[in-house]
Amino acid sequence: MKRRFSLIIASALAGALHLSASAFPDRTVSLLVPFGPGGSTDLIARALAQEMSKTLGQQVVVLNKAGAGGAIGAAEVANARPDGHMVAMMPVGPLTTQPALRKLSYTPASFDMVCRVYSNPQVLLVRRDGPHRNLADLVADAKRNPGKFNYASTGTGSVPHLALASLSSAAGINVVHVPYKGEADMLQGLLSGGVTMFLGHPTLLAMHSQTMRGIAVLAPQRLKEYPDLPTVGEQGVPPQHFEVWGGLVTPKGTPPAVLAALESACRSGTAAEAFRKQLDNLNTPVMYQDAATFGAFVAAEFERNSRLLREAGIKPE
C-alpha cells in the first residue's frame, strides 16, 4: 500500500512537471543582469529580451542585481525556482572566475546553460603619445627594465588580470599588477602615467582613439574593425586568446522542454537584425552557441581560469 501511494505521488509530480513545461511560459520571464544598468552586459540583455519576448509570447523583463563582482545576482539565480521564468545574462566573471576566487553558494554546476550570446575580444592598450607602437617594442623595453612597467585591471582575478598575467608569462617579462575599480579609473591611470597598459574592449579604443593606441588583440584573428591591429601571435609571442563573453543560464534542474524553448528563443533573438545592429553599435560580436556547446565551453573556461589563478599565486578566500 505504501509503495503504491509513493508511485501515485511520483506520477502526479511527473505529470505536473510535464504540464508546467508544456505551458511555458505562462507569465513574465525575468532576465537578471548581475551588474547595474547602463553597462554593456545590461544593454545586450535588454536588446535580447525584446527579441525573445516576440518568440516566447510573454514579456521578458530585465532585472539588475549588482554587487560582489556579479556574485550576488548569480547566487540569486542559482537559488531561484527552476521553471524557466528566471534566467540570467551571465558574463565570464561571475560564472567562471568568482567561484574560483572565493567560496560562494554556487559554482558553474549550479546552472543549466541555455546559450552563448556574445564575445568581446580584448585589446592591449597603451598611451598614444608613449614610446610603444607595437607589442615587440613593449616586450623589448620591459626586458631591458624588469619590474619597471605595470598594468591595470578591474580587480584581482578579473579577465584582464588573468589575461595580462598570462601574456606577461608567455612573453617572458616582469610587470606589476595594479587593480583599479573600473575602466574609467584605469583610463585615468594610463593617461596620467600611473600604469603602462591595460586591456580593454574595442569600443573603448574607438571612444578614446585620440589618447590611446591598441598594440595587440588577444584573439585568434584580427578584428574587422581594426584590420591593421595584429594579434599577439603575429608579434612573436605565443598566441593568447582572452575575451569577455556572456550567455544565458537558468537554475539547475530546469525541465528539458523549458530549456529547449529558451534555447530556441535565444537562437532567434541573436539572429534578429535589430539585435545584431545593437551589438554592432557596441562593437561587440554576436557569438551564438547552443546549450550543449556553451556548457562545454563554460566548463573549459572555469578549468582554465582556475588554473591561471593558481599560477598567479591567488588562493581562494
Q: What is the pLDDT of residue 184?
A: 83
Q: What is the pLDDT of residue 311?
A: 84
Instruction: Provide the 3-class DSSP secondary structure of residue 146.
Output: coil
Helices (H) and strands (E) in the chain, counts: 12, 11
Q: Say if residue 202 is preceded by a cis peptide, omega within 30 of 0.
A: no
Is 208 buried (19+), middle (13-18) or exposed (0-12) by CB count in 10 A?
middle
Q: What is the pLDDT of residue 281?
A: 87
Give the integer Cα–Cα distance in Å for 109 and 128: 43
Q: Are 258 and 244 in contact (CB under 8 A)?
A: no
Convert the pLDDT of each residue in 104-140 to its tens digit.
999 999 999 999 999 988 999 999 999 999 999 999 9
Going along the chain from its start, the domains and CATH numbers come out as 26-120+244-311 (3.40.190.150), 123-235 (3.40.190.10)
Instruction: Provide the 3-class DSSP secondary structure of residue 178.
Output: strand
pTM equals: 0.81
**Mean pLDDT computed over every residue of the chain:** 90
For residues 2 and 158, which has the higher predicted lDDT (pLDDT)? 158
Candidate ranges 2-11, 98-107, 264-273, 301-310; pick with highest mean pLDDT: 264-273
Residue 277 above 60 pLDDT?
Answer: yes
Convert the pLDDT of each residue in 180-191 to its tens digit.
877 888 889 999
Residue 246 above 70 pLDDT?
Answer: yes
Banded pLDDT at 4 (limits 50, 70, 90): low
Q: Are 258 and 37 in contact (CB under 8 A)?
A: no
Give the integer Cα–Cα distance in Å for 283 and 118: 11
266, amino acid identity: C
Rounded to an integer, what is the distance from CA 130 to the centroid of its chain?
30
224, amino acid identity: K
Give the integer Cα–Cα distance in Å for 299 and 292: 11
Q: Are 282 and 44 in contact (CB under 8 A)?
A: yes
Convert the pLDDT of each residue in 59-81 to its tens digit.
999 999 998 888 999 999 999 99
